[in-house]
Amino acid sequence: MSNRDQTGLHAPQDNLPLELTSTSQPGMDADDVPAALFANNPDETAYIDQSDVGRSEGSTMTDVYEGNADTAHTSDGTDDFDMLVERELRAGETQDSMEAVEEGLTYVPPSDPPMSLDPDGGTGHDLDDPEDDDDTTARIRAALQSDSSTIGLVSRLKIATIGSTVVVRGEVDDLDDTDNIVAVISEVPGVEAVRDETTVRGL
C-alpha cells in the first residue's frame, strides 16, 4: 500500500507544483498567489473599472453648427454619469433625425414624444366663452353666400355685428332682396336682431 495510509485515505501529495495564474506578478511565489488574489478585495465585492463603462458619443459637427455642442464632458474626456443614464445612447446613435441623416448615424427615437409650445397655434377657448363678433359676421357672410337668393348680393353688403344684433348696409335691386337678406341672417345661430339699413336702387 504505497499510496494509502492505514486509514485507507489517500496520502497528501505535497510535491505537486502549483501553476501560477495570469494574475500573479513576476517574483511572486506560488504560496503567495491565494493571498494576492484577495488582498485588494477582502470583502469579495465586485467593482467596475472606469474603462468598463461605455461612453456616449461626443459632439458632432452638426451639434456645433446648431449650437447644441455637448458640454457635459470633462477635460479628460470622461462622460458625466447622469447624462449617460439619461440618454442611454451608444456610439453612433442619435435622437436627432436630421443629424442621423447628415452624419450617417443610427436614429434612435426618444422614449417620450417631444412636447413644445407653438406660439402661432393660438390659445384655447372654453366652450362657454362668448363668440367673437368677427366670427359671427363671418358665419353671416357664409350663410348669405350659400343661399341662392342672396349669393349675388354679398359683395354689395357691409355687415357689422354688435353682440347679438346685426347691422346691414348696402344697395340692393328691390325690396325682395332686402327681405331675403334679413331672412337668411335671422337664421344664423347667435343672431337675435337684424337692423336693415339697405337702400333700394332707383328709390
pTM recorded for the entire structure: 0.38
Query: 99-108, pLDDT tens digit by residue?
Result: 777 788 887 7
Domains defined along the chain, listed by start: 53-107 (no CATH), 133-200 (3.30.300.130)
Distance CA 179, CA 154 (A): 14
Q: Which three cell numbers stand for residue 40?
A: 485588494
| More confidently predicted of 173 and 121 | 173
Report, in this order, helix, strand and coil percent for the chain, each rounded to 5. Answer: 30, 15, 55
- Res. 124: pLDDT tops 90: no
pLDDT at 78: 47
